[in-house]
Structure 1
């Protein structure tokens, strides 16, 4: 780390699949100084941060389960990657003390807060009050909700005249995604077909992705009639080996849903997920042009009509979707710390680039 200019002191919370990538990114970022790590598991407590994210050189920062001790460090920013879906109230309770104490926050754990003006008041109001009290800033992001459903479509829409509809798709093979809580609890993979994951109960789909729809509607100057949702599941007649264990024949192995903004009774802004646990699942559902591993696609009907597809090259031992999810938040930390206090969206920040440029010997 010799020769690095350290300016922003960061506490990181959460070392799950995406959290490990964020921790690695903070350690490697030339403008950030890791000062604390919060973990939930007893077996991780006392371990060096480098061990928790696969880096060789020790940082001297050891993990703790004592969040109050980390708050006492008075960090400039909290990077929060604790579990999100279904835990919104608990996540807000974790974040409020940091915001109130003047620490800025970046997180991927509150998907519904990617566009605060449209967020559920139960999350928005206590976070706004804490940010006002501490004169701090809050930013929720990720790859989707986040970059794939805000900056990517908004950039394309900046080159449009007539716009008839916007469709944003995530097409992904989740069979290598080992976050069991999200896959089984939230999406319902491995459940009987008549037992939905928590995302498909109550208003959770709208709470998680409605802000995406509202942000694009506001950018387009639309007053929508409302937001509705549709979803379906798929099964296969053979067992599937996945990162969350074996899915038995007849259990849910595919999930497709849409969150749709309606205008004059017609869907005009559509957020669609097509998520499979293997290539054999739901062959009639949409596919990427070159891969189904991980694709973000934006289709705009209008003048001009556009189709933009973002794919991630996969390398053995790395999940590039997780890296992108984590680094969209980590790379935003300097801009969030420099922003006026309050609840931020992608529209409130400048263009952000990664700073860890790898130098190779000639």
Structure 2
């Protein structure tokens, strides 16, 4: 049975998700919500850079809620729990990269009644968080025993992220260092990455642990060109955010992102190191394991501005989860409750 899917928002993840949905043999795009009136009425395929597919985008929430569909892939810039509850109550499953990866009891209590009322499921997934920061470390931990430490860490050139307003005004690049540290980004990221840490702690069975966060910045020593405008000397040009869990003084989990505006003209002189842009997975146990993932970063800044593989990966993980989520019992569904999620063969090679 082909599942009917609505794409909610057409930012980077939303556009990539439309591509994936159109190619998936078990999914059909039947609706598309957009934020701006300028996009309303346009063909969803055209918004994603594809040929027209006969699905008209709308900025009407009521229209989307009334639509007959199995699942909504919910990916606006920021999550709105009230919106998600309304979607769930309308009888539509929700897959999102914006949270609920490992909900607290409070978060579960806030969302589960709506899912049960609608007879549907809410699932948070993605890549960072939602994949490299908990799913992959937990997967590789299954090949070891007596685990003492797991880590998922991102190293990315933020110049390839084509969202200038987000980079400058939310992420704080180009700002005074103290202003950036006092800005909203640490709190926004913590909503997801602390869930990554807790998923690892709870699933691996570590004793009561303390989660500590850290935020470091490097400033530009010369003007740096970026899609968010010129990063002036003395302003933020690189950031590291980390969340680490300790049992006593033993570090047992690390989740971190390293975001640089290139490797030149930084103070401190941070670099990606010989591995370049990458995701790293590490497990300490019997035996140890480490993995480096390439391919989720573009070959150049200009290529990333056209189509960033990290965004495409995030969308793919969401889209490929939809059939499992739609088949699950109503409620909240986490990665550890699911079978293996895979992609599907290219349409030209499918049997």
Does TM-score exceed 0.5, indicating one fold?
Answer: yes
1:270 lines up with 2:254 in the alignment: yes
Deviations 1:18-38 (A, max 9, x none): 111012211221111111110
1:348 lines up with 2:337 in the alignment: yes
Please give the secondary structure, in 2, of the residue aligned with 1:357: coil
Partner residue, 1:3: none
Partner residue, 2:219: 235
Between the two proteins, the alignment pairs up a number of residues equal to: 340
What aligned pairs does 1:129-208 form with structure 2 within 5 A after superposition? Answer: 129-196=113-180, 197-200=183-186, 203-208=187-192
CA shift for structure 1 position 288: 5.4
CA shift for structure 1 position 141: 0.9
Q: State the alpha-carbon separation in 2 of the partners of residues 181 and 102 from structure 1.
A: 34
1:27 paired residue among 6, 22, 46: 22
Partner residue, 2:328: 339
CA shift for structure 1 position 192: 0.6
Any stretches of 5+ residues in structure 2 without a counterpart? none
Q: Tell me the TM-score normalised to structure 1 length.
A: 0.88
What aligned pairs does 1:77-88 form with structure 2 within 5 A after superposition? Answer: 77-84=71-78, 88=79
Asked whether the equivalents of residues 180 and 244 of structure 1 are also in contact (C-alpha less than 8 Å), the reply is yes
Structure 1 residues 263 and 11, CA gap change in structure 2 (3 angstroms): same
2:200 paired residue among 204, 213, 216: 216
Partner residue, 1:291: 276
Q: State the alpha-carbon separation in 1 of the partners of residues 164 and 128 from structure 2.
A: 18
Q: State the alpha-carbon separation in 1 of the partners of residues 41 and 91 from structure 2.
A: 27
Structure 1 residues 266 and 251, CA gap change in structure 2 (3 angstroms): same
Asked whether the equivalents of residues 92 and 118 of structure 2 are also in contact (C-alpha less than 8 Å), the reply is yes
Structure 1 residues 331 and 286, CA gap change in structure 2 (3 angstroms): same
Any stretches of 5+ residues in structure 1 without a counterpart? 1-5
Please give the secondary structure, in 2, of the residue aligned with 1:209: helix
1:301 paired residue among 266, 273, 284: 284
1:96 lines up with 2:85 in the alignment: yes
CA shift for structure 1 position 244: 2.0
Q: State the alpha-carbon separation in 2 of the partners of residues 220 and 286 from structure 1.
A: 32
What aligned pairs does 1:15-54 form with structure 2 within 5 A after superposition? Answer: 15-54=10-49
Q: State the alpha-carbon separation in 1 of the partners of residues 345 and 166 from structure 2.
A: 29
1:261 lines up with 2:245 in the alignment: yes
1:247 lines up with 2:247 in the alignment: no
CA shift for structure 1 position 55: 0.7
Asked whether the equivalents of residues 11 and 78 of structure 1 are also in contact (C-alpha less than 8 Å), the reply is yes
Deviations 1:117-153 (A, max 9, x none): x37x2x4333211001111101111111011122211
